[in-house]
């Protein structure tokens, strides 16, 4: 390593030393040098074989590769593998690189295609290790690694593994973790390096006229909820207060039932639930985002309803005259949501106090990022830019990896002073000089909340401000994330230093069929996931119609049988 490129802190060296003794999950608050800990472990393992450094997004991969090339003597030892490179060029990079930095999807693809193997890999670093659940690529890679490597060692790093002990245990099991090591901001050896971070929330009153629009959508939502509950096909009765997580869980349950039983009411329930989810989203936009975001969403629903391949749920919603009345009322609305004006006021106050400020605004929705950017452009003191993911959605074009990197560099340099980001800006992006993080809305996830807060207070004191619309799900989401964060910290403290059961030896890898399925999914276009809801609904609609046709056929057959029996009786 080049001299004087990295400040080594005692707690980092202690955690790295522990991580070299057994596969470990390191949990450290954002901004305290998780990557430096990974670097220390990496340097100690390089003489034993290749090192694989995985990160979930391309900007993070680029950031880690640039950091390693900057601090290591042999910068050519570091190679970066992304899906933008051809498979042949990736094979060449894999063979010559000592440290391979990559997204997990690329590695999974190349493992499934047998272009690479993990036999000679001495260490895998899983950045943002909390992602290692379900079918995420980290899980498959870790499984293959335990089976193939001669001397495997795993290092998972994260600031937020989650609040449920079961999920933390799942992450550890999936990655083959044997120990959990953690530090909090209150630990004596860490407190020296923690910068002050004030957290404030701003409560805003939503205009009555906008709440009336929300109430009208809720009436349409309630009608469909009542219809769904009356069907009796649902294993769970839902109501207007049910969370989106509960609705998605119900959707998964109904889909599972539909696969094993061709029940007409189950398919009807799936179709109704597709409408409920769309109207639920409209309610959330009305109360937390405002008329502009809601109008954009209505336009999208209308476009889907007119498209031949569009969503049938959108078509049914648009055919409802009561929904058309809501659209007319929204078009006539003369009031705005208070959030855009509040965001501008807070941003201008920060810039006035410190003209060199860097400000990050987080929002859940691309439409909001677009409309807020347009709203802020009228003030010469605000130089704002939108930062979203790579996928293009409808007419909303995503940002390429190159464009994302350019925007971040211009933000660091001060060409832009406000970065309006969706979730792509939450994980790991290192912008040390961010003075203010503004939540346009709270998030119910403790992981996302911690990631957002961690964008400030890294190199100097910072502020976090949260906009909350009073009497809406904003308030509920805020308290949910606060409660989950406290629970997570308690769980991690309790588990820290634990020696976990060793991962099962010889745990079976995927079957050939599973490998083929994974290969197909890995090679599928990235936008496929966005259409999953419509595909589920279309499938359910087709199945429902088939069930109706079968039922009609059975009824016709019964009638024929009955008439035949009657004719036979009369002839006798």
pLDDT of residue 142: 97
Beta bridge partners of 438: 361, 465
User: Are the folds of 197-205+338-487 and 208-335+537-553 the same?
Assistant: no
Could you tell me if residue 238 is left (phi over 0), alpha (psi between -120 and 50 degrees) or otherwise beta?
A: beta
**Whether the Cβ atoms of residue 196 and residue 190 lie closer than 8 Å to each other:** no
CA angle (530, 533, 538) in 5-degree steps: 125
Q: Which fold has domain 208-335+537-553?
A: phosphoenolpyruvate carboxylase, domain 3 (1.20.1320)
Neighbours of 331 (CB within 10 A): 10
Nearest to 475 by CA among 160, 204, 162, 163: 204
Contacts of residue 406, Cβ cutoff 8 Å, sequence gap at least 6: none
Q: Which CATH superfamily is domain 10-178+499-521 in?
A: P-loop containing nucleotide triphosphate hydrolases (3.40.50.300)
Residues in the chain: 572
Q: What is the DSSP string of 431-464?
A: -TT--EEEESS--S-HHHHHHHHTTSSSSS-EEE
- The reply to whether CATH 3.40.50.10740 applies to domain 197-205+338-487 is no
Which residues have CB under 8 Å from 285's CB, separation 6+? 293, 294, 297, 365
Please state, as a whole number, how many other Cβ atoms lie within 10 Å of the Cβ of residue 114: 8
- Pairing between strand 24-27 and 154-158? parallel
pTM above 0.75, yes or no: no
Element (H, E) at 245: helix 244-260
Q: Compute the distance between CA of residue 360 and CA of residue 373 in angstroms, rounded to an integer.
A: 12
Residue 500: which of 11, 143, 171, 129 has the closest Cα? 171
8 A C-beta contact, residue 32 and residue 162? no
Return the C-alpha torsion angle 238, 244, 247, 252, nearest 10.
Answer: -160
What is d(CA 343, CA 204) in angstroms, rounded to the nearest whole number? 11
Q: pLDDT digit of tens for each residue in the chain (572 aa)?
A: 666 677 778 888 889 998 999 999 999 887 778 889 999 999 999 989 999 999 998 888 988 999 999 999 898 999 999 888 899 999 999 999 999 999 999 999 999 999 999 999 999 999 999 999 999 999 999 999 999 998 899 999 998 887 677 888 899 999 999 999 888 776 777 767 665 667 888 999 999 999 999 999 999 999 999 998 888 766 678 888 888 888 888 888 888 877 777 678 888 888 899 999 999 999 999 999 999 999 999 999 999 888 887 788 999 999 999 999 999 999 999 999 999 999 999 999 999 999 999 999 999 888 899 999 999 998 899 999 999 877 776 677 788 878 888 888 899 889 999 999 887 766 656 665 688 989 999 887 766 776 676 666 555 567 889 999 999 999 988 888 888 777 777 776 676 665 555 555 444 444 333 444 444 444 443 344 444 455 455 545 555 555 554 444 434 433 333 333 333 333 33
353, with CB counted inside 10 A (0-12, 13-18, 19+), is: exposed
Dist. CA 262–CA 259, nearest whole Å: 7
Report the alpha-carbon distance of residue 56 to residue 131 in Å, rounded.
Answer: 8
Domain layout of the chain by residue ranges: 10-178+499-521, 197-205+338-487, 208-335+537-553
The neighbouring-strand residues paired with 385 are: 419
| Distance (Å, whole) CA 364 – CA 244 | 14
């Amino acid at each position: 390593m080049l001299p004087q490129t990295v400040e080594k802190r005692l707690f980092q060296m202690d955690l790295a030393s522990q991580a070299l003794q057994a596969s470990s999950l390191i949990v450290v608050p954002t901004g305290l040098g998780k990557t430096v800990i990974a670097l220390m472990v990496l340097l100690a393992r390089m003489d034993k074989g290749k090192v694989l450094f995985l990160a979930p997004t391309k900007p993070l991969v680029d950031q880690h590769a640039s950091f390693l090339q900057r601090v290591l003597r042999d910068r050519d030892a570091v190679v970066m593998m992304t899906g933008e490179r051809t498979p042949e060029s990736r094979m060449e990079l894999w063979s010559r690189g000592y440290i391979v930095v990559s997204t997990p999807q690329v590695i999974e693809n190349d493992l499934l295609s047998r272009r690479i193997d993990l036999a000679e890999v001495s260490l895998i670093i899983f950045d943002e290790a909390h992602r290692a659940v379900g079918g995420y690529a980290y899980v498959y890679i870790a499984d293959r690694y335990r089976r193939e490597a001669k001397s495997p060692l795993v290092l998972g790093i994260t600031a937020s593994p989650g609040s449920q002990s079961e999920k933390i245990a799942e992450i550890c099991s999936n990655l083959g973790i044997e120990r959990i090591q953690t530090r909090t901001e209150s630990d004596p050896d860490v407190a020296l390096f923690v910068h002050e971070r004030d957290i404030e929330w701003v409560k805003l009153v939503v205009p009555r006229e906008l709440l009336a629009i929300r109430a009208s959508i809720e009436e349409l939502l309630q009608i469909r909820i009542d219809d769904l509950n009356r069907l009796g096909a649902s294993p769970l009765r839902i109501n207007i207060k049910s969370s989106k997580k509960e609705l998605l869980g119900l959707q998964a349950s109904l889909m599972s039932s539909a696969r094993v039983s061709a029940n007409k009411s189950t398919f009807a329930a799936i179709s109704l639930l597709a409408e409920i989810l769309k109207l639920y989203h409209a309610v959330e936009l009305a109360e937390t985002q405002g008329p502009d975001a809601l109008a954009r969403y209505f336009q999208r629903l209308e476009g889907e309803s007119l498209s031949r391949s569009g969503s049938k749920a959108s078509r049914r919603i648009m055919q409802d005259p009561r929904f058309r009345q809501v659209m007319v009322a929204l078009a006539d609305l003369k009031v705005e949501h208070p959030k855009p004006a509040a965001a501008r006021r807070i941003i201008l106050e920060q810039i006035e106090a410190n003209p060199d400020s860097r400000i990050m605004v987080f929002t859940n929705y691309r439409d909001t990022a677009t409309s807020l950017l347009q709203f802020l452009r009228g003030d010469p003191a605000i130089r704002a830019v939108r930062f979203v993911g790579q996928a293009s959605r409808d007419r909303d074009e995503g940002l390429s990896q190159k464009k994302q990197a350019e925007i971040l560099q211009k933000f660091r340099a001060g060409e832009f002073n406000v970065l309006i980001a969706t979730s792509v800006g939450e994980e790991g992006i290192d912008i040390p000089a961010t003075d203010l993080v503004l939540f346009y809305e709270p998030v119910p996830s403790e992981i996302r909340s911690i990631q957002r807060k961690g964008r400030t207070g890294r190199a100097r004191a910072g502020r976090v401000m949260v906009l909350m619309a009073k009497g809406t799900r904003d308030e509920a989401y805020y308290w949910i994330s606060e409660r989950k964060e406290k629970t997570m910290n308690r769980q991690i403290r309790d588990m820290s230093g634990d020696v976990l059961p060793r991962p099962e030896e010889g745990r079976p890898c995927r079957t050939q069929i599973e490998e083929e399925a994974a290969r197909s999914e890995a090679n599928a276009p990235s936008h496929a996931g966005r259409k999953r809801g419509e595909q589920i609904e279309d499938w359910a609609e087709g199945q429902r119609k088939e069930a109706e046709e079968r039922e009609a056929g059975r009824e016709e057959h019964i009638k024929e049988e009955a008439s035949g029996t009657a004719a036979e009786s009369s002839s006798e």
